[in-house]
Structure 1
C-alpha cells in the first residue's frame, strides 16, 4: 500500500519512469496504477495523438518497441500501455534491448497480471535498472480485513470487524470484487457511516446470521442448536453456500486452534500475532480452545480432511450436501 502511494505521488509530481513493469498475482493494483497513469500523465487534449493502449494477445514485442520509439506530437510525452502483457510471456525477453536504452519521451506501461516475470530474465533486470518494477502480491485472508478498513477510511467510512470478515469469507481475497461491493455501499450510505453486518445483508445479499463466520463462532462456543440451524440453511441454499468453502474455512479455524494449543504465551496480543487474526476475535479463539482440547482438535482436523475430499464428490456416493454437512457437524460436536 505504501509503495502504491509513493508511485502515485511520484506520477502526480511528474517524476516519471520511462518503463513501468506492473506484475503479480493481485490484478487490482496493476489496474489502478495503470488507470492512474492513463488519466494523469497527459492532458486530455494530448491523449488523442499520444496515448495508445495495446493488448498482449494482439501485438508482438516488435510492435511495442516500434510504438515506444515514436516521438510525441505536440506534447512532451507519449504513453504506451500494454494490457494483458502476460500473453507475451514467451517472447517478452526480446524487450530487454529497448529496456536498456528506453525512449526518454515515452512512458511504457506493461500490465503483467496473475504472475510475475522471471527475475532471472534479462528484461526484468533491464527494467529494474532503467525503470520501475512493481510487484502486486496477493493478500492473505487475514490481511484483507485491514485492507478493507484502510480503503474505506480514505473515503470517510468505517466498518465493523464482523462486517469486513463477512466480505472476506463471501468474496475471498479478490480485491477487485471486494472493492466493487464497497463502492456499492458507498453509493447508498452517507459519508461518515460505519458499515455493519446489516448493511452487508441488505445491500450485498450476504446473510448476517447464516454465514461461515457465524457457523465458526457457534461451533467454537459449542452452541449446537445455532450451528445446526446454520448448517440446515446452508443445505437448503447450496449455491450460495458451497460446502467446499465451509470445509476449507473450518479447516483453517481448527488448524489455528491446534497452533493455539501449542502456544506457551496465550495473551491476547500474542494470540492475535501468532494466528494472524484481528484482536477483536481473539476471545472467540480462546473460548473455542477451552471447549475443544488438543486431542479433539487433532481428530477434527483429520475429519475435515476427509470431508474436504467428500465435498468434491470423491467417495461420497452422491450424498446430498445437506446430509454431508450434518454428518460433519455431528462428528465435530460429538
Structure 2
C-alpha cells in the first residue's frame, strides 16, 4: 500500500501502526522526519532501551535483523526495528528480509529506508508490494511555500508570503537548510507568532551562503566570473558535483520550456504551474530565456550531457569538469 507522509502521521496520531514500512526517495530530510515522527508515537522514551534497534544497510546482518524483528517486545506493546539504507545490502540479505515481511511479527514494526529501489528485478520492489510504502520526492519550486507553511505550523507560527519568497531565494529548496533557517528565525521571534520578511532579512541574510539557484542564475545570465566564484564557494561548502549538474540541467530545461510556452499566451500563474516554479521567479527565468535561441539551448544540453559523462566515467577532477562546463555554457553557445 502506497501512502503519503500526511496520511501516515494521521494514522500514527490515531494509534494505528503497520507491521512493515518502506520509506524511500531522494529527499532524505522527509524520510528522517518520518522516522522521528513514527518513534514519537510508537514508543515511549522509557521503552526504547529494550525495544528499539537501528541498523545500517552497509553493515547490517540480515539474520540478526530478522531474529530481533521476530522476537517479542519487553514491557511494551511493540518492538521497533529500523534498517536505514537497506538498498546497500546485497541480494541475499534483502531476500531474507523479503521472506520476513511476507509474514511479519504482529508485535514488531519494521521500518526500511532507501534512497532508491534500484532495478525492476530488485527484491525491494517485492517488499514495496507487501508493505506500507511512502516515497519522499524532491519538492519543486512551487511546492516549497506550502511545505514551509506546514513546517512552521507545528511550532504554532505563521509565515508571510513575502518572507517565504525571500527565504526561498536566500536558501534554495533544500528542506534541511530551510528547516535550519526556521530554527534561527524562531529564536529571533521571541514572543511573536508570525515570521515577516524583515525577520528573514535580519536572520538569514546575515548568515547567507550561496545556493544552487544563484549559481544557475549567474550561468543563465552569462556572468562567468560570478558563476565561477559561486561554484568555488559551493564546492568548498561540500555541495556535490552531480547534484549541481542536475540543477543546472533542470535550469536550462526550464529556459527551453519557457521559450516553447512563449507563443501560447498563457497567464503567468499557468506558466509557473507548468514549469513547476514559484511565480516570484518567473520574470528572472524569462529574462534569461530571451538570451538563448533554440539552437543555443540544444548546444547547452549537449555540453551538459558531455559533463555528465565526464563526471561518471573520466579521470578528470569534478571541479575541472564543472568549470569547463560553465565556460562552454557562456562562451561556446553565443
Q: TM-score, normalised by structure 1?
A: 0.72
Q: Does the alignment pair 1:8 with 2:9?
A: yes
2:256 paired with 1:255 = yes
Find the residue that maps to 2:82 and give its secondary structure. strand
Q: Is residue 160 of structure 1 aligned with residue 164 of structure 2?
A: yes
Pair member with larger Rg: 1
SS state at 1:25 partner: coil
User: Counterpart in 1 of 2:67?
Assistant: 66
Correspondence for 2:238: none
Aligned to 2:24: 23
* 1:122 Cα deviation from its structure 2 partner: 6.2
2-side partners of 1:99 and 1:323: how far apart? 49
Aligned partners of 1:96, 1:250: CA distance in 2, in Å? 40
Deviations 1:44-84 (A, max 9, x none): 22222222222223333221111011112222211122222
d(CA) in 1 for partners of 2:166 and 2:45?
Answer: 43
Where in structure 1 are there 5+ consecutive unaligned residues? 220-226
Give the SS at the match of 1:239.
helix
- Distance in 2 between residues matched to 1:117 and 1:331, nearest whole Å: 37
Give the Å deviation of 1:39. Answer: 3.0
Contact 2:15–2:41 (CA under 8 A) maintained in structure 1: no
Q: Does 1:304 align with 2:300?
A: yes
Distance verdict in 2 for CA 1:36–1:232, change over 3 Å: same
Q: Compute the displacement of 1:15 (Å).
A: 0.5
Aligned-residue offset at 1:164: 0.8
Aligned to 1:211: 214
Q: Does the 8 A contact of 2:72 with 2:79 survive in 1?
A: yes
Deviation string, structure 1 residues 280-309 (Cα, Å, up to 9, x no partner): 3444555666x55xxx52143145346656
Asked if the contact 1:165–1:213 (Cα under 8 Å) also holds between the matched residues in 2, the reply is no
SS of aligned partner of 2:232: coil
1:95 deviation in Å? 2.1
Q: 1:174 Cα shift?
A: 4.2
Q: TM-score, normalised by structure 2?
A: 0.72
User: For residue 187 of structure 1, what is the aligned residue in structure 2?
Assistant: 187
Give the corresponding residue for 1:267. Answer: 267
> For 1:1-46, what per-residue CA distance to the aligned partner results, in whole angstroms no more than 9, with x for missing partners?
x821221221222201111122223222222121222333122222
| Equivalent residue, structure 2, for 1:222 | none
* C-alpha spacing 1:302/1:189, structure 2 compared with 1 (3 Å): farther
**Does residue 75 of structure 2 align to residue 77 of structure 1?**
no
Aligned length: 307
RMSD of the alignment, in Å? 4.2
SS at match of 2:88: helix
Does residue 35 (structure 1) correspond to residue 36 (structure 2)? The answer is yes
Q: CA 1:214–1:199 in 2, change beyond 3 Å: closer, same or farther?
A: farther
Q: How many Å separate the matches in 1 of 2:302 and 2:98?
A: 49
Aligned mates of 1:100, 1:74 — CA distance in 2? 26
Contact 1:234 1:322 in 2 (8 A): no
SS in 2 for 1:52: strand
Once structures 1 and 2 are overlaid, which stretch shifts more, 101-110 or 57-66? 57-66
Equivalents in 2 of 1:322, 1:27: separation in Å? 28
Q: 233, 237, 240: which one pairs with 1:240?
A: 233
Do 2:70 and 2:105's aligned partners in 1 also have CA atoms closer than 8 Å? Answer: yes
Q: Which residue of 2 aligns with 1:224?
A: none
